[in-house]
Structure 1
Amino acid sequence: MSDSRPDLSQPVERLHENEQLKARSRHLRGTIAEGLDDLLTGAVPGEDPLLMKFHGIYQQDDRDRRADRRQRRLEPAYQFMVRLRIPGGVLDKRQWQGLDRLSRLYAERGLRITTRGTVQLHGVRKSQLRSLIQGLQPLGLDTIAACGDDSRGVVCGANPYLSKAHERVQQLARITSDRLIPKTGAYADIWHQQPTPVSDGEEPVYGELYLPRKFKVGFVLPPVNDVDIYGQDLGYIAVVDNGDLIGFNVCVGGGMGQLDNREDSYPRLAEEIGFIEADEAPAFAELVMSIQRDFGDRQDRHRARFKYTLDRLGLPWFLEELECHRGRPLEPARGVRFDHNGDRLGWQQGDDGLWHATLYVESGRVDDALRTQLGGFLEQYGGRLRLTTNQNLQLTHIETHELEQVQWRLEDLGLDWRLDPEAQAAHTLSCVALPTCGLAMAEAERYLPTFLERFQRLKAQYGLREEPITLRLTGCPNGCARPYLAEIALTGRAPGLYNLYLGGSFHGDRLAQLYAGNVDEERFLALLAPMLERYAGQRRDGEHFGDFLLRKQLLEERPLTSLSS
């Protein structure tokens, strides 16, 4: 076997500047603690904001106020986004209530359920960060590795019909997450103010350089592909027989992020490579992540994701490397099938007899009236909660005798309307974008209600109002809302302008194609109208919009709108 490992024996100064920062950070400590105590600025100075990402924290500012503050010679309105690590999105009632309380104390925009099934708190001030993170500890929650060059929070799909198998998959997702997070003492040192000396053996898996880039792991239970498993660096597809989890088909190399100004930057679907037994999943994830640690690009950061490592060195090389370290080859993948990649809204009963209700939450934002309604509901709710990767909230483990009372409470608080499974909103995702995301070039979450209303009116013109179409809207091309797996997607280019992608699969197993660049809302609707008209009149029974576009070859003749980057 040839050694394709990058030469990391060279001086660290020759690596990307982020690698140099990690190397001298004393296992992610840097000077974060000193920056938190600096009362002269609302920011954490210097390079430490990069290190804080490993702690689940992004330094941001209110971009709506930048120009005004600059004119008044004030520093930007600095604030922080804090992202939690919640493996599989599972919370109990006490944890949600605790998060609600902390968000009211420290966050300006409530709670936001993310597309990785966790919670973000936006608008936290520097002086409040320690109090917030210390408040998470009694809840059994943390923010470790929610960002940064490490294994991000592990996601797990929600398929309550397979209750027994789902419990086991959820358990493995949590074990995997706990195994893959950094072991540095910096977290306790900085946030809980528990002095922890730097140790040479502090990171037995990551070492001093951690990973070249983020590494995303996901578990999914067919036929629901709600986590968009083919967009994960490492994906586990559950194989279930008579309700029992047998093992997982493994897929590798997915990733959604790209740069519009680089031809060698692109989204990629993960590839299925074989089958493993269920109990091997946590150790297998560490093995795959370690290969990426050793062979990922540490000089060109934009080519550092696992997908580029596989394309650079080849899948046969990876399988050989994997077999060498694992000691045996993978078994052949088993047959599985996906029906869709959205959430099943409304009531479902599992094979254990318990009930689950999935409530739609627009852009995952739990604020204002909704936060109050949910708070009131949970006062008398005895079940559990799950945050989904489609930004919704699932009530779980409800007994049959409780069903009527729970439904009555939902209706009484005005939450029952969120159970409409046919609404286009149920198949739509958006990222946060402006005003806080530093990468956003266009609106997403704030624009979504207006955009969705106009898209629905267009669908209604052709009798398609109740026809589900996966729709994704992001403020930049980085892919936080997984736009490249949607049937229709817009990725931000500039204020009011987006790139239009079409033709992804309703099942989440095919990439969309760039169809038109730099389109505004009027142009987007004008381009889509004739396609929807033809779809309404010429589709086959059960045929989804993305499949129809490909069958009719409607994407081959692209419009005159500029596709340049």
Structure 2
Amino acid sequence: MSYQTVPGPVEGPLADNERLKRESNFLRGTIAQDLQDPLTGGFNGDNFQLIRFHGMYQQDDRDIRAERAQQKLEPLHNVMLRARMPGGIITPAQWLGIDAFARDHTLYGSIRLTTRQTFQFHGVLKPKIKLMHQTLNQYGMDSIATAGDVNRNVLCTSNPVESELHAEAYEWAKAISEHLLPKTRAYAEIWLDGAKLGPDEEPILGSNYLPRKFKTTVVIPPHNDIDVHANDLNFVAIAEDGKLIGFNVLVGGGLAMTHGEKGTYPRKADDFGFIPKEHTLAVAAAVVTTQRDWGNRVDRKNAKTKYTLERVGVEAFKAEVQKRAGVTFADSRPYEFTSRGDRFGWVEGIDGKRHLTLFIENGRILDFPGKPIKTGLAEIAKVHQGDFRMTANQNLIIAGVPPEQQAQIQALAEQYGLLAPVSRQRENSMACVALPTCPLAMAEAERFLPAFVTRIEALLAKHGVPDDSLIFRVTGCPNGCGRAMLAEVGLVGKAPGRYNLYLGGNLAGTRIPRLYRENITEQAIHDELDGLIGQWVAGRDSHEGFGDFVIRAGIVRPVVDSARDFHD
């Protein structure tokens, strides 16, 4: 892809989403009127898209879609809501509030922890939508800007051990989230019956908002538990003597692509350099406004920040950010990522408090036969004196437990099956929701993963390494929600029961994998992995990860520059 001589917006007829945003009256549309329409359980016209800016997606249960059509009924329309929880921290009182709402007012009764370090409700019918937002507001939460063409939920490393550093990084995550939020009063007016308070202005996002979704993180090395290269903007915390002094700023990561479109690809973020922490909000706004003004509003498939950097050039984008922020990036400070998974079990922070990380397969919190984890977490929330921390790997930390309460929390966790032993392989596997609720899913992911992980466990045992693991991730479509494009073994749904198999990511999450086999069945994937794991065990260097081995052995070539070699 050639660079543009003069940086700026792409010329041409605008995508229809640009009309939609321009005519939305600052994201109001006719959502309020639609709520009163009893003829459909869904939203009409532009409102189908506009509710995303309020944190919701319209969905239906695809498992029963055909049956309802035979009965001459419309699909069972409902919404999925994603909450805004910067850094993933939620109080016990808030947890009990969302637990009760999920139990009493959703079709599935579950809470879903997501890769965006927050929770989702699935299966909320139209008559309950306003109650849902008012319930969130009652407990000090909202879902503003967790979807749509805006900056979404800001992630932060879940690091309860280095308590003071994490606390400061978390405060920056919250501040960035607030600074980049839409300023329109549409959310409060529609869902909370708020009064209109004068004209709307959007000084950062603009009246047409961003060209495409935008994702931001704060990460504390050496833990890359939020996968920086999956995000548009990342602040890598740099500390001296345990105190935060500033951030290295990484821009232009993203994992989504489109099957068959070689102009789309996953991409790693570029390192712009170091800034003192007092410039954080100015730089965040400068990156967002540069993408706002230069991003592609003609072709949504090329509208993300990663494509803007490829089109105008990294140095031109960086220079514009420096100009707008009034800062000059210094040379990046050294850092290293050595892990990105969660640390399970009990750890003790430097403040003496204890923290218990629980494995939640696929992030699905529900009472399962013999494992009532939703009830168990509610019982813990009734006595817990600290907070809960949702991780970007779909797990949950019971954080800030005083030493004298550790035994009580341990006993409750054991009683409700929250400490059931799992393999390292299962801990390092992840999937998006996919079927039956996601309208974009081409294949199973969440429902596929548990049984297939069991098959991988059997392969590892067969080859004599039952305690080893691969970073394994599955997404039902190429939009990237399960972050398969940063896995050692990534599956991307292509059709029912068929996936593209990608190999060659690494343990640190700093390398994009490459397509190895296309459009193959579950059994074919199993057979490929059988041979590959055998080769890895026989030929690896000491402690060499699977992804590094397949690159060194020439099984796949490394992706060095995604725009130029990802599709080679």
CA positional deviation for 1:2: 7.4
Q: Is the 8 A contact 2:357 2:396 kept in 1?
A: yes
How far the C-alpha of 1:207 sits from its partner, in A, is 2.1
CA distance, structure 2, for counterparts of residue 389 and residue 45 of structure 1: 33
CA shift for structure 1 position 454? 1.1
Residue 374 (structure 1) aligned with residue 377 (structure 2): yes
Q: Does structure 2 retain, via aligned residues, the 8 Å contact 1:82–1:143?
A: yes
The answer as to whether partners of 1:185 and 1:198 remain within 8 angstroms in 2 is no
TM-score, normalised via structure 1 length: 0.95
Query: Using a 3 Å threshold, how does the CA distance of structure 1 residues 98 and 367 change in structure 2: closer, same or farther?
Result: same
- 1:386 CA drift (Å): 0.3
Hey, what's the Cα distance between the residues in 1 that align with 2:39 and 2:351? Answer: 57
Q: Whole-Å Cα distance in 2 between the matches of residues 2 and 469 of structure 1?
A: 43
In 1: Cα distance, 2:126 partner to 2:436 partner: 18
| Residue 333 (structure 1) aligned with residue 332 (structure 2) | yes
Contact 1:517 1:564 in 2 (8 A): no
Q: For residues 384-439 of structure 1, give each alpha carbon's deviation from its aligned partner in whole angstroms, at most 9, with x where no partner exists.
A: 11000000000111122222332222223322225x5x531111110000011110
Partner of 2:530: 529
1:520 and 2:521 correspond = yes
State the Cα distance separating 1:3 from its structure 2 match.
5.0
> Does the Cα contact within 8 Å between 2:376 and 2:412 map onto a contact in 1?
no
Could you tell me which residue of structure 2 aligns to residue 457 of structure 1? 458
Higher mean displacement: 441-450 or 528-537 = 528-537
Distance in 2, matches of 1:432 and 1:416, equals: 23
Partner-residue secondary structure (3-state), 1:43: coil
Alignment of 1:102-141 (within 5 A): 102-109=101-108, 110-141=110-141
Where in structure 2 are the equivalents of 1:173-322 lying within 5 Å?
173-196=173-196, 199=199, 201-322=200-321
Q: Distance in 2 between matches of 1:282 and 1:564?
A: 36
Indicate the SS of the match to 2:397. Answer: strand
1:555 pairs with 2:556: yes
Q: Find the aligned partners of 2:144 and 2:445 in 1 and give their Cα distance.
A: 27
Q: Is the 8 A contact 2:53 2:144 kept in 1?
A: yes
1:401, 1:540 → 2: CA distance? 45
The 1:326–1:377 alpha-carbon spacing in structure 2 relative to 1, beyond 3 Å, is: closer
Q: Which residue does 2:387 correspond to in 1?
A: 384
The code of the aligned residue for 1:381 comes to H
Q: Is the 8 A contact 1:431 1:480 kept in 2?
A: yes
- CA gap of 1:327–1:207, structure 2 versus 1, over 3 A, is closer
Question: How far apart in 2 are the matches of 1:281 and 1:5?
Answer: 24
Q: Which amino acid aligns with 1:4?
A: P
Pair 1:544-2:565 in alignment? no
CA distance, structure 2, for counterparts of residue 433 and residue 416 of structure 1? 27
Q: Does the 8 A contact of 1:185 with 1:202 survive in 2?
A: no
1:12-23 residue pairs with structure 2 within 5 A? 14-23=13-22
Opposite residue 436 of structure 1, the aligned amino acid is T
**Deviant stretches of 4+, over 4 Å:** none
Return the alpha-carbon distance in structure 1 between the equivalents of residues 5 and 520 of structure 2: 47
Deviation at 1:456, TM superposition (A): 1.1
Match for 1:375: what amino acid? A
AA of the residue aligned to 1:554? I
| Residue deviations 1:111-130 (CA, integer Å, cap 9, x gap) | 00000110110000011100
Over aligned residues, Cα RMSD in angstroms? 1.9
Residue identity in the other structure for 2:420: W
- Aligned-partner residue type, residue 213 of structure 2: K
> 2:57, 2:274 → 1: CA distance?
37
Q: Which residue of 2 aligns with 1:49?
A: 48
Does the Cα contact within 8 Å between 1:103 and 1:111 map onto a contact in 2? yes
Deviation at 1:487, TM superposition (A): 0.3
Q: 1 CA distance for matches of 2:398 and 2:333?
A: 31
Paired with 1:319 and 1:241, the residues of 2 have a C-alpha distance of: 26
What residue is the counterpart of 2:154 in the other structure? Answer: 154
CA contact (8 A) 1:249 1:276 kept: yes
Q: Relative to structure 2, which stretch is displaced further, 250-259 or 463-472? A: 463-472
Normalising by structure 2, what TM-score? 0.94
Take 2:557 and 2:17, find their aligned partners in 1: how far apart are those partners?
Answer: 41
Alpha-carbon distance in 1 for matches of 2:8, 2:554: 42
Letter matched to residue 170 of structure 2: Q
Aligned to 1:169: 169
C-alpha distance after superposition, 1:17-71 (max 9, x if no partner): 0000100100000010111100111111111010000000101111111111122
Q: Say if 1:88 and 1:156, in contact at 8 Å, map to a contact too.
A: yes
Structure 2 letter corresponding to 1:137:
N
Deviation at 1:467, TM superposition (A): 0.8
Q: Deviations over 1:259-313 (max 9, x none)?
A: 0121100000001110011232222111100100000000101100000000000
3-state SS of 2:162 partner: helix
Cα distance in 2 for partners of 1:564, 1:402 equals 54
Deviation at 1:198, TM superposition (A): 6.5
- Superposed CA deviations along residues 202-228 of structure 1, whole A, max 9, x for unmatched, are 222222200000110001111110000
Paired residue type of 2:528: L
**How far apart in 1 are the matches of 2:47 and 2:409?**
47
| Rounded Cα–Cα distance in structure 1 between residues aligned with 2:282 and 2:344 | 34
Cα distance in structure 2, aligned partners of 1:359 and 1:7:
46
SS in 1 for 2:258: coil
Separation (CA, whole Å) in 1 of partners of 2:113 and 2:244: 28
Measure the CA separation in 2 of the matches of 1:409 and 1:79: 34
Give distance in 2, aligned partners of 1:142 and 1:405. 32
Partner of 2:562: none
Task: Give the length in aligned residue pairs.
Answer: 553
Counterpart CA distance in 2 for 1:227 and 1:564 is 26
Q: Is the 8 A contact 1:377 1:413 kept in 2?
A: no
Q: CA deviation at 1:448?
A: 1.3
Match of 2:412 in 1: 409
Q: Tell whether 2:478 aligns with 1:477.
A: yes
Give the 3-state SS of the residue equivalent to 2:404 in structure 1.
helix
**1:505-531 deviations in whole A, cap 9, x for unaligned?**
111000011100011111111111121
SS of 1:492's equivalent in the other structure is strand
AA at the equivalent of 1:254: G
Letter in 1 for 2:188: A
Cα displacement (A) at 1:564 = 11
Identify the residue that residue 561 of structure 2 maps to in structure 1.
none
Q: Which residue of 2 aligns with 1:560?
A: none
C-alpha offsets along residues 431-452 of structure 1, whole Å, 9 cap, x if unaligned?
0000111100000111111111
| Deviation by residue 1:171-200 (Cα, 9 ceiling, x = unmatched) | 10001101111011111111112231672x
- 2-side partners of 1:7 and 1:270: how far apart? 22
Once the two structures are TM-superposed, the CA of residue 380 in structure 1 deviates from its matched residue by 2.1
SS of the residue corresponding to residue 210 of structure 2 reads: coil
